């Protein structure tokens, strides 16, 4: 099974309330609403100062190599409310790190848990991956809760420089293995 072929086949994934779909330049205004808000991005990346920065990010970070990268669209209002993507992919070990961001207007509603749970299921059942990881800033309690709610287990804490702020922070690594997931979700 070729992971890239499977990612191309499942470039749109539907959940009960969400549509995970390719990111488009027309998403710039929706993305700018949260990517320009420092509070929304405190653990992720520096805020965008202009809509042009957001368009650049969409084009270079999502559209240039689109496989394994999805916009999170809230079906009820057709708004792009965040992104979820495979940050690091190890094709040999079939291991992927998942990254995500959600507009704070939609925090606490279970959207990210729904998106990660669905993507985890697709990753193991359709993409043939063996393990998934989520790495979060230890201070990001909500993101840690999302990982744990989906079944990811804490592996370790470690100190590292945040590449955006250059400060030393503690990150928590979560991991779930295919066999664990399938055993619990059969």
Q: What is the pLDDT of residues 136-185, one digit of tens each?
A: 888 888 999 999 999 999 988 877 766 555 666 677 888 889 888 887 87
CA 162 remoteness from chain centre: 18
| pLDDT of 167 | 64
Tell me the fold of 3-184.
Aminopeptidase (3.40.630)
Identify whether the C-beta of residue 75 lies closer than 8 Å to the C-beta of residue 18. yes
| pLDDT of 78 | 97
| pLDDT of 180 | 82
| pLDDT of 171 | 77
Identify whether the C-beta of residue 163 lies closer than 8 Å to the C-beta of residue 182. no
Q: Rounded mean pLDDT of 6-34? A: 96
> Residue 126 in 3-state DSSP?
coil
Identify whether the C-beta of residue 126 lies closer than 8 Å to the C-beta of residue 6. yes
Map out the domains of the chain as residue ranges. 3-184
Q: For residues 17 and 37, what is the distance between their CA atoms, to the nearest angstrom?
A: 24
Q: What is the pLDDT of residues 31-42, one digit of tens each?
A: 999 888 877 777
Q: Would you tell me how many other CB atoms lie within 10 Å of the CB of residue 117?
A: 17
CA dihedral 2, 18, 55, 60 (to 10 degrees): -10
Q: What is the pLDDT of residues 96-125, one digit of tens each?
A: 999 999 999 999 999 999 999 999 999 999
Q: What is the pLDDT of residues 43-99, one digit of tens each?
A: 677 778 999 999 999 999 999 999 999 999 999 999 999 999 999 899 899 999 999
DSSP string covering 63-121? ISS-TTEEEEEETTTTEEEEEEEEEEEETTTTEEEEEEEE-GGGTTSSHHHHHHHHHHH
Model confidence, pTM: 0.90
| pLDDT of 67 | 94
HSE toward the beta carbon, residue 130, CA cutoff 13 A: 7
- Taking alpha carbons only, the member of 97, 92, 181 closest to residue 133 is 97
């Amino acid at each position: 099974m070729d992971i890239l072929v499977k990612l191309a086949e499942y470039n749109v994934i539907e959940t009960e309330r969400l549509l995970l779909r390719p990111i488009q330049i027309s998403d710039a205004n929706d993305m700018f609403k949260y990517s320009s808000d420092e509070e929304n991005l405190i653990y992720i990346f520096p805020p965008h100062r202009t809509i042009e920065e957001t368009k650049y990010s969409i084009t270079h970070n999502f559209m240039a190599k689109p496989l394994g990268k999805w916009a999170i669209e809230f079906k009820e209002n057709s708004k792009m409310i965040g992104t979820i993507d495979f940050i690091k992919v190890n094709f040999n070990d079939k291991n992927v790190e998942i990254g995500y961001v959600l507009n704070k207007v939609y925090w606490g509603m279970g959207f990210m848990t729904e998106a990660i749970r669905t993507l985890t299921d697709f990753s193991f059942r359709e993409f043939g991956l063996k393990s998934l990881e989520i790495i979060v800033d230890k201070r990001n309690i909500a993101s840690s809760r999302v990982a744990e709610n989906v079944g990811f287990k804490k592996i370790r804490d470690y100190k590292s420089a945040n590449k955006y702020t250059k400060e030393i922070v503690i990150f928590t690594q979560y991991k779930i293995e295919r066999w664990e997931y399938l055993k619990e979700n059969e």
